[in-house]
Structure 1
Amino acid sequence: MTAREPAGAGVVIEPAARPGLTLAAVAVVQFLVSLDLSVVNVGLPQIAAGLGFGAVGLTWVIHAYALTFGGLLLLGGKAADRYGRRRVLLLGLGLFGVASLAGGFAQEPGHLVAARAAQGVGANAAGGALGVLIGGLLTQYAGWRWVMLVNVPMAAFALALARRGVVAGPAPVHGGRPDVVGAVLATAGMTLLVFGVVRTDQYSWASPETLATLAVAVTLLVAFVHVERTTTREPLIRLGLFANRSVAGANAFTLLIGAAMAASFYFMSLYLQQVLGTGPALTGIMFLPMALGVVVGSLLAVKLGYRVAPRTLLVIGGLLTASGFAWFGLISPDGAFATDVLGPSIIASVGFGLCLGPVVSIATAGVAPSETGTASGLLNSSRQLGASLGLAALGTAAHQRTGQTVTPESLNDGYALGLSLSAALLVTAALIARTVLRRTRPPAPAEQTDDRDLLPARK
């Protein structure tokens, strides 16, 4: 059949896919999303100075992206199933690029937060290691605006690759329409929950303002649950999935570890630049051991996975990461890279890497094949929402510890508290893995997916 030859009523077959272009498009899109998750962190002090962000308001540069990305992730998958993956991918990349351009020209805090929110929406369709390095270099030598503008040519490149390399695929399945109302309720509820927590730097937890905000947030989240149970549309998630202990435990674990890791990048970036006086470029370089440690931990998890149960790896990885963060909590105003940053970075990142693979395998264990994609998407949403909630709570606690008199010593106290609380979250995550998740055995030799599977089976 030739290119664009009709294939039935109203269905057009696109040109055959080019595997190389398809792989390149996927790689660039994944790199773009990973880059944006880390590139902004190093530029935060300059962003705050350039646009006049307050200490707590600065966290919304992270929140806006994480909340929309995590809150709308499942909706993006449902929309792709209904309207076509290629169409939604191109739309998302276009929105991501326009939002990045708008963020680069932001003139006040609200402009940048709105642009970050739009980026999060676009990433539903759309190099952590290189992200922090690129962010540091751009911030120091080109200005903080380029941590946003760098996404524009990359998004354009990814868009061009996707147009040529990603075919339309089979006709979309026109079943139930995606549950847009549920997605809006969940995202709005989580946003108000974060807003209520962040505002405790101005209003106490018992104040009418805080209680009213949190009450509305809870109401929206309860309404989301009701909509998911009663909607005639395609629900974002079947709530019965949470009856599976593996799904519930893995998502609770991911929520907590996402909170701790987001806080670590945030606090350590500010500690290096605002307390130790390190430049943005050198700060980016100092983050590289942490990124490489995650790779080492992930590879180690693959090796140990043949002999150690996934639950055990989560417990070990969570406690190891907690140990690194507890070490981070000992930072001082006259600290040094080798003792206050490098050592804990290696321990924490290797521990985090140990958790990545096992938590995915546990989150999809016992799930019907038709819901494996939903379970995986739910895990990604939990990581992003955990990052936002954790940063809201820990960032507020750090700000309250810092007090009104901002000095390197007071900032250090605040960041140290935030990192110590992150360690406590990770200990809690390890306890959840130990008590909630069922005991399982390592995969049998026949289940190992390495090169030996290609050999004839032994008699």
Structure 2
Amino acid sequence: MTDSTLSASHAPQYAAPPDPRRWAALTVLCLAQFMLILDVTVVNVALPDIGADLHLSRSALTWVVTSYTLAFGGLMLLGGRLADALGARRTFLAGLVLFTGASLAAGLAGGAGTLLTARVAQGVGAALLSPAALSLVTSTFEGEERRRALGVWAGIGGGGAAVGVLLGGLLTSGPGWHWIFYVNVPVGGAVLAVLPSLVAARPPRPARLDLKGAVLVTGGTVALIKGVVAAGDQGWSSAQTLIPLALAAVLYAAFAVAERAAGAPLIDVRLLARRPVLAGAFLILVATALLISTFFLTSVHLQQDRGYSALRTGLAFLPVAVATGAGAHIAGRLLGTVGARQLAAAGMTVAALGLVPVAWTHLGTGVWSTVVPALSVATFGIGAVFVTAFTTGLAMVPAAESGLASGALNTFHEVGGSIGVAVVSTIAASGIQGGVPSAFAHAYAACAIAAGAAALVALVVVPPGKPRMAGGAHAH
């Protein structure tokens, strides 16, 4: 599941000796980033237990997932600006304190209101911490060491997603779902205690903050998800659905106008008009929506309809997570010879084909003979699309703009997960609420159709040829 708006800081005018603490600092920074990525998937396996314990409705369960990724993605660009304005180390520590405290509050939650508020606070903390952490990585390393450090950083995303599903199962089946949040507390405390001795504070750089843009884009996405979730309960023609959707359209339009007029916009809309960036944003939005929504659907389906424990569910996800990483690895090796357009279309096609068997799923369908292999095929294709999307989006972007471009792509990454879960939760509403297995099949079918349509769109929007990286920004 990455993430920063910031690229490398200006190089000094003299050859300073490298800091001997730099690799220890990288380890600590990656550990903090690992927590953030893990929290995207660790909660999926625990959802049935959380819902039963706190008596949560289907819409509330949806918000347990989406509230975190929404706040994370919606405020990430603002977090990058704050790291500039206040200093990266200070912003990192502030985000870490907020994320750790919110994790404790989520574990102690006794009701929906407390849990959802804590999840939002976790997302805000992540939005502060993640771009500041990457800024610290890029300012700590130089030359070839920086490329190696960023390679380690980029690998955190897949590892966090894979460990998240297993850890969620282990903790939920063991001490209980509360511990999927409690586990962040000692890790966050250790990072907080160690990091100041490993990373020197650097003076902040003057930066203007686009608070209006952050409020508009986040508010628009909240309204969009609220409308989509309401459709599962009230129908698409109800006022509870149409009013939030109309509000989302208004807020997004206002955001586009505000960004064009802002002196230091969160997202330069002219950058998004460039074909490579637009193609990368589209691919990462769809790929993340497909990945997180299938994790959500399968977690609930296996435990609610198949009687799987949280631990068995987590183990079932391991081949799926490994397949995601394998797809990304192979795509990275093929990009230079095959080309981004062909890989993007092929990856989405493989995802669609993998989702077809689970679109026919019913209570008699074998989990290990059909569901797990089919989802592994689908996520292999999605993993290939992830690499293709980020490489395409950053191709031919000048180094001075690579931070803005990677920040925009990472925003689509997080927001895509929120929208995907909201959509499939609405389609599968009768299955989640009333135990109707066919509703899950319908949701999987919608994912397969979306992947197939995205494969066709990729043949049009992704530029031909082999992308060449002009910048050095990375993502999770």
The question of a shared fold, defined as TM-score above 0.5 by the shorter chain, is answered with yes
1:328 deviates by: 1.9
- Within-5 A mapping of 1:27-426: 27-124=30-127, 125-126=129-130, 127-169=160-202, 171-175=203-207, 177-232=208-263, 234-400=264-430, 402=431, 406-407=434-435, 410=436, 412-426=437-451
2:52 maps to amino acid: A
Contact 2:41 2:292 in 1 (8 A): no
Moved more, 37-46 or 77-86: 77-86
Structure 2 match to 1:7: none
Gap change, CA 1:157 and 1:102, over 3 Å in 2:
same
Contact 1:185–1:220 (Cα < 8 Å) also in 2: yes
How many residues were matched structurally? 425
| Preserved CA contact (<8 Å) 1:21 1:161 | no
Provide the rounded CA distance (Å) in 2 between the counterparts of 1:243 and 1:237.
11
Aligned-partner SS, 1:361: helix
The residue type equivalent to 1:110 in the other structure is G
Query: How many angstroms does 1:163 deviate by?
Result: 1.9
Partner of 1:21: 24
Calculate the aligned-residue CA RMSD, in Å. Answer: 2.1
Which structure has the bigger radius of gyration? 1
| C-alpha distance in 2 between matches for 1:272 and 1:159 | 38
1:423-454 residue CA offsets vs partner (Å, 9 max, x unmatched):
1111122222110111013669xx9x9xxxxx
Higher RCO (C-alpha under 8 Å, 6+ residues apart): 2
Q: Is the 8 A contact 2:287 2:385 kept in 1?
A: no
Question: Deviation of residue 130 (structure 1)?
Answer: 1.2
**1:17 Cα deviation from its structure 2 partner:** 6.2
- Listed as ranges, the gaps of 5+ residues in structure 1 are 1-12, 450-459
Which amino acid is 1:54 matched to? S
- The superposition leaves residues 135-167 of structure 1 with CA deviations (integer Å, 9 ceiling, x where unpaired) of 101101111111111111111122233222222
Would the aligned equivalents of 1:330 and 1:340 in 2 still touch at CA under 8 Å?
no
CA distance in 2, matches of 1:303, 1:436: 22
Q: Secondary structure at the match of 1:178?
A: coil
In structure 2, distance between residues paired with 1:137 and 1:182: 40
Deviation at 1:198, TM superposition (A): 0.9
Letter of the structure 2 residue corresponding to residue 302 of structure 1: G
State how far apart, in whole Å, the 1-side matches of 2:214 and 2:349 are. Answer: 34
Per-residue CA deviations over 1:91-147 (Å, capped at 9, x if unaligned) read 111100000000001111111111111111111114211111111011011111111
Instruction: Note the C-alpha offset of 1:256.
Output: 1.4
Distance 2:193 2:308 in 1: 38
Q: What CA distance in whole angstroms lies between the structure 2 residues aligned with 1:178 and 1:235?
A: 8
Letter in 2 for 1:172: P
1:90 is displaced (CA, Å) by: 0.6
Determine what percentage of the aligned residue pairs are the same residue: 38
Give the Å deviation of 1:30: 2.1
- Counterpart CA distance in 2 for 1:161 and 1:422 is 43
CA deviation string 1:18-66 (max 9, x = no partner): 1122111122022111211111100000000011111232100011001
Q: Is the 8 A contact 2:291 2:379 kept in 1?
A: no
- 1:305 and 1:443 in contact (8 A); partners too: no
In structure 2, what is the Cα distance between the partners aligned to 1:378 and 1:295? 23
What residue number does 2:142 align with? Answer: none
Does the Cα contact within 8 Å between 1:19 and 1:165 map onto a contact in 2? yes
C-alpha separation in 1, matches of 2:432 and 2:23 = 55
Cα distance change, pair 23–268 in 1 and its aligned pair in 2 (3 A):
same
Q: 1:341-396 deviations in whole A, cap 9, x for unaligned? A: 22113211221221222211110122222111111111111121111112112211
Are the structure 2 counterparts of residues 403 and 180 from structure 1 closer, same or farther at C-alpha, using a change threshold of 3 Å?
Answer: closer
Tell me the CA shift for residue 203 of structure 1. Answer: 2.7
Indicate if the aligned counterparts of 1:252 and 1:432 stay in contact, CA closer than 8 A: no
Listed one character per residue, the Cα deviations across residues 223-269 of structure 1 (whole Å, up to 9, x for unaligned) are: 2122212224x210111012201111111121112111111000111
Preserved CA contact (<8 Å) 1:257 1:425 = no
Alpha-carbon contact 1:276-1:335 (below 8 Å) kept? no
Deviation at 1:403, TM superposition (A): 8.8
1:82 to 1:332, Cα distance in 2 relative to 1, 3 A: same
DSSP-derived class of the 1:250 partner = helix
SS in 1 for 2:337: coil
Partner residue in 2 for 1:3:
none
CA contact (8 A) 1:51 1:107 kept: yes
CA distance in structure 2 between the partners assigned to 1:161 and 1:285 by the alignment: 33
Contact 1:260 1:390 (8 Å CA) reproduced: yes
Worse-superposed segment, 130-139 or 153-162: 153-162
More helix by share: 2
Q: TM-score scaled to structure 1, two decimals? A: 0.88
Query: Does the CA contact (< 8 Å) of 1:199 and 1:210 recur in 2?
Result: yes
